[in-house]
Structure 1
Amino acid sequence: MRKTTLLIPVLVLVIAGALSSLFIVDEREKALVLQFGRVVAVKEDPGLAFKLPLVQTIVRYDDRILSRDVETLQITPSDDRRLEVDAFARYRIADVEQFRQAVGAGGIRSAESRLDSILRAETREVLGSVSSNEILSSDRATLMLRIRNAAIAEARNLGLEIIDVRLKRTDLPSANLDATFARMEAEREREAADEIARGNEAAQRIRAQADRTQVEIVSDAKRQSEIIRGEADAKRSAIFAAAYGADPEFFNFYRSLQAYRGALQGQNSSMVMSPDSEFFNYLKTTNVGD
């Protein structure tokens, strides 16, 4: 009876010691086995694991991808237009042993504080080297990649792997909005004035070219018309000359008739000249008895 009484506590202690030496590693976490604060084992595979009871302790860390929002930053780009920037990063614990050595017992909270410092510094450096137009444009993937690549090396010293960095919001401070809008409006008005001036200059150039072309066309048309008229006059003169040479008497008679028609027009036409004038040669009649 006495042996049974002594055996029960021993069995209880043995069972308690056996249970305390067992622990389970979840697939979503990594575990470190610490002995007097020193890492003696790393458990990354999920399943059942063992440790020395009372001597060794277990520290667990999340193995999933984590997200960290960076506090709003005021950035001064290369063109001195201040911007308020909100960013966030996705990261994971890549080397759990190095992570423990870097942050100690502070864990995730200490790591995220140091990660914030890294992201703020790299964000200021990258965005401070470009203009605000580049930051505010829709094509910001290159800038976010530069921030990520610059922060990767420093985060690796903490045992962290930065997967992605994103800019959530890039806005002008409210105090600068009115002045910025006024400046943007002035710039647009100046650009509009420049465009109008260039348009007027082009219009004047086109109008002058059109006027010169018109003058050239009209001049060429007049020259051709004079040539045609001169050729026609030459042909007419040649025809008259040929007709005169064929029958000079008839030609003189025909020209006299044209002269009479031109001179004797209207009902009150009158002419004063000598009756013996050659103008009346074809109006004279000869008496039959004479």
Structure 2
Amino acid sequence: MNRAALGLFVLFLLAVAGLSSIFIVDEREKALVLRFGRVVNVQEEPGLAFKVPFIDEVVRYDDRILSLEVGPLEVTPRDDRRLVVDAFSRYRIADVDTFRQAVGGEDVFGAERRLDKILRDQTRAVLGSVSSNDILSSDRAALMLRIRNGAIAQARSLGLEVIDVRLKRTDLPQANLNATFARMRAEREREAADEIARGNEAAQRVRAQADRTEVELVSEAEREAEVIRGEADAERNRIFAEAYGADPEFFEFYRSLNAYSNSLLEGNSSMVLSPDSEFFNYLKFSGGADR
């Protein structure tokens, strides 16, 4: 091999070594430089970084905010009313060196298994210290903050930073749903019965008041009708008296005609009278003077 070929080979080796000593850290990640399994450099800023070629190893970790779903777990609040709770957490790898020492060769899923256990323990501890009504209420921010604060210290030992913890769903266990539903239905039926009873009582009061008002109005109307009828009868009698006093003969004739009109109707009962009866005076004579 001549010197030119040897020089090219050396340049090639230098180029390969130079390229192998450079690595790029993305803005979404952090990197650890390991030498024989020991951390020799922590690269947290994005950009170019250097390592010893063929000796150092670069391990990359996600620097973004990650999410962890905490599966359903049963909790027993202070009033011994069991509940099933679903939660989720937001976290990030804050210290990659501590994270590497804590999880060893495990990936991020191994760390999530440990974080899941921490969140479950904290959730049971916090929710077990309050009543079920506090957990089921819409204002649960204080409880979620307590769970987060309790998990922060333990997660820090894993190199993790817990950013937020949220309770997604809080339900009764299936075994308690039917009993709770039956109790709620019984309470609603009792309230409905109370409302019906109060409504019937109010209806009876209204009905009694209406009946009383009806009786009073009818009595007053009948009294006024009797007064008016009496006044009309008195006026009629006065008119009759004046007419009788003005012309007694005509008055008697008028009364006889009324008697004929009222008695000689179709369908009336038969009357048996003597032809000489005074009832027929104005039928036998043209006038009443000669009867």
**Under TM normalisation by the shorter chain, which class is it?**
0.5 to 0.7
Q: What does 1:1-290 correspond to in 2, within 5 Å?
A: 2-187=2-187
Q: Is the 8 A contact 1:77 1:129 kept in 2?
A: yes
Matches of 1:150 and 1:185, distance apart in 2: 39
C-alpha distance 178-150 of structure 1, shift in aligned 2 (>3 A): same
Query: 1:84: Cα distance to partner?
Result: 1.3
Once the two structures are superposed, residues 77-130 of structure 1 have per-residue CA deviations (whole angstroms, 9 ceiling, x without a partner) of 122222111100001111111111111111311110100000000001111111
Give the distance between the partners of 2:191 and 2:116, measured in 1 at CA: 42
In 2, distance between residues paired with 1:192 and 1:140? 32
What CA distance in whole angstroms lies between the structure 2 residues aligned with 1:193 and 1:91?
52
Q: What is the deviation of 1:184?
A: 3.0
CA distance in 2, matches of 1:179, 1:124: 24
Shift of 1:152: 0.6
Q: Secondary structure at the match of 2:105?
A: helix
What is the CA–CA distance in structure 1 between the aligned matches of 2:38 and 2:196, rounded to whole Å?
Answer: 76
Query: How far, CA to CA, are the matches of 1:138 and 1:184 in structure 2?
Result: 19
Q: CA RMSD in A?
A: 2.3
Gaps of 5+ in 2: 199-291
Q: Is the 8 A contact 1:91 1:161 kept in 2?
A: yes
Q: What is the alpha-carbon distance in structure 2 between the residues aligned to residue 59 and residue 121 of structure 1?
A: 31
SS in 2 for 1:60: strand
More deviation in 74-83 or 18-27?
74-83
Tell me if structure 2 keeps the 8 A contact 1:100–1:107. no
The 1:128–1:189 alpha-carbon spacing in structure 2 relative to 1, beyond 3 Å, is farther
Instruction: Go from structure 1 to structure 2 and tell me whether the alpha carbon gap of 1:79 and 1:191 turns closer, same or farther (over 3 Å shift).
Output: farther
Q: Unaligned 5+ residue runs, structure 1?
A: 200-290
In the alignment, which residue of structure 2 is the partner of 1:265? Answer: none
* Same amino acid, percent of matched pairs: 72
TM-score, length basis structure 1? 0.64
* Shift of residue 180, structure 1, vs aligned partner: 1.0
Q: CA 1:39 to 1:23, structure 2 compared with 1: closer, same or farther past 3 Å?
A: same
Name the SS of the counterpart of 2:60 in structure 1: strand
Question: How far apart, CA to CA, are the structure 2 residues paired with 1:131 and 1:111?
Answer: 32
- Indicate the SS of the match to 1:53: coil
Amino acid at match of 2:118: I
Q: In structure 2, the residue corresponding to 1:111 is in which secondary structure? A: helix
**Cα distance change of structure 1 residues 115 and 174 upon mapping to structure 2, 3 Å threshold:** same
In the TM superposition, what whole-angstrom CA distance separates every residue of 1:145-167 from its partner, at most 9, and x where no partner exists? Answer: 11001111101111111110000
Letter in 1 for 2:45: D
Query: Partners in 1 of 2:34 and 2:157 — Cα distance?
Result: 21
> How far, CA to CA, are the matches of 2:153 and 2:196 in structure 1?
52
- CA change 1:137–1:24 in 2 (3 A) is same
Q: How far apart, in 2, do the equivalents of 1:188 and 1:36 lie?
A: 71
Q: CA deviation at 1:76?
A: 1.6
TM-score norm. by structure 2 comes to 0.63
Identify if the C-alpha distance between structure 1 residues 85 and 20 changes in structure 2 by more than 3 Å, giving closer, same or farther.
same
